[in-house]
Homo-oligomer: A and B are copies of this chain.
Amino acid sequence: MDKINIGLIGLGTIGAGVVKIFQKNQALFKERLGVDLCLKRIVDIDLERKRDLDLSNINLSDDISEILNDEEINIIIELIGGYELARTYVLTALRKGKHVVTANKALLSKHWDEIIETAKESNVGVYFEASVCGGIPLILSITKGLSGNQILSINGILNGTCNYILSKMSSEKRKFKKVLIDAQKKGYAEADPSLDINGKDSAHKLAIISSLSFGQNISVEEIYVEGITEITLEDCMYAQEEFGCTIKLLAIGRIVDNKIDLRVHPTLIPKKHLLSKVEGAYNAVYVRGDNVGDLLFYGMGAGELPTASAVISDVAAIASKIKDSNTNFRSFLGQREKKKELLPTDELELKYYIRFSTVDHPGVLAKIAGILGDNNISIASVVQKEPLEENVAFVVMLTHKALEKNIRKALVEINKLKIIKAKSVLIRVEEME
């Protein structure tokens, strides 16, 4: 075999990146792999759109059957996103003995078992490096590079849009909504940014890397999720100035007492930690293995060429196997380790940042501290900030380690007090030790 034929479904941003890389680095791939990678067919529903691409040697069509029925095509790249159509195309391709490369994290986290099983039955590979953290070779590193380790924890900045917004709020002292509009103008946030800013996108990615790290199928519904929509400029500033921390949207997967702790939420991280230095639209993942210790992987988690770079690395991996007549693909995907329970968030034991909106008169702190004390929560540090609005003051504190169920119970009690003017703000702290 001296040529491997590829079909691409979906010619959007990432698809265009894939076309560009195939064209730019074609000679390099031949040198590296000893085989030609030929992008033979592209299917997209929109044939009219002007694209800044040379498609002269590629068969472009809006008929999906042309790709799925082309027996010369060895590898299908699925980049249409979404659930049902993508599922149908991917399963059909796999059943026809074609390998599949996809960036579709939603599809994978919903139909993981079905897709993996179908690939196994057809003895083909399904590859998805591009589904998590764009160009960072994270899935490869976790599944292959760290195979000698029990992964103990993952702490990831997995969504570039959220990180861009939180970075700008902190560095430019601007409010959430203004930065979001700015991010949309610059292309760092979508017109409808909800999947990013509500934390769901991070949860999808966490489901995939946790499934691989902990050797069991983790569904996105099992993950506790909070987004960044309620993070205020004040909280960013107090975190920095009073407690030496930066607020990041963190996706967390940890083994705690042989249970799996899975969460996505805004988190205070000490400024001296590398993760707190990750600015703008970059992604970064801090991984702890029982032998390797701490590792950081950092890079662009989205964008045309970085994401296409991950797609191409998957294509090259498959092509190399086809060329070598290897017939076993992705055996690690079948791995099932001894199943662990999930840790309920009630059982978390963390430090917490809490901001109370109170009336501005004496005795307020005593009342709050009393309820916290009754619930076994001790205060590590507290400041009262100047009232921002008439008759309201902020009491901002960091607790010592406390049980989350106690924190929640205390906050319910405190929020009922007459001295409390708005729902108290709770943000978890990760000391990253």
CB distance from A216 to the nearest CB of B (A): 11
Q: Is the CB of A141 within 8 A of B147?
A: no
Q: Is A418 an interface residue (CB 8 A)?
A: no
Q: Which residues of B contact A309 (CB under 8 A)?
A: 146, 148-149, 289, 291-292
Q: Is the CB of B150 within 8 A of A313?
A: no
Of residues 315 through 359 on chain A, the ones whose CB sits less than 8 Å from some CB of chain B are: 315-317, 320, 323-328, 331-332, 334-338
Number of copies: 2
Q: Which residues of B contact A364 (CB under 8 A)?
A: none
Q: Is the CB of A316 within 8 A of B137?
A: no
Q: Is the CB of B306 within 8 A of A299?
A: no
Which residue of B has the minimal Cβ distance to A18?
B148
CB distance from A256 to the nearest CB of B (A): 18
Q: Is the CB of B308 within 8 A of A148?
A: yes
With A25-B148, A147-B313, A332-B32 as contacts: A296 and B293 at CB distance below 8 Å:
no
Q: Is the CB of B299 within 8 A of A292?
A: yes
Encode contact with B along A140-157: 1 for CB under 8 Å, 0 otherwise. Answer: 110011111110000000
With A140-B144, A328-B326 as contacts: A293 and B313 at CB distance below 8 Å:
no
Which residue of B has the minimal Cβ distance to A276?
B277
Contact of A148 among B293, B313, B325 (CB under 8 A): B313
Q: Is the CB of A137 within 8 A of B148?
A: no
Q: Is A191 an interface residue (CB 8 A)?
A: no
With A31-B338, A299-B292, A306-B293 as contacts: A312 and B148 at CB distance below 8 Å:
yes
Query: How far apart are the CA atoms of A38 and B312 in the complex, in Å?
Result: 36
Q: Which residues of B contact A316 (CB under 8 A)?
A: 144, 147-148
CB distance from A21 to the nearest CB of B (A): 5
Q: Which residues of B contact A332 (CB under 8 A)?
A: 32, 320
Q: Which residues of B contact A28 (CB under 8 A)?
A: 150, 337
Which 5 residue pairs across A and B have the least CB separation, nearest first?
A137-B145, A148-B312, A324-B328, A135-B292, A296-B298
What are 9 A-B residue pairs whose CB atoms fall within 8 Å in the complex?
A31-B336, A32-B147, A137-B140, A289-B309, A292-B300, A293-B299, A296-B296, A297-B298, A298-B298
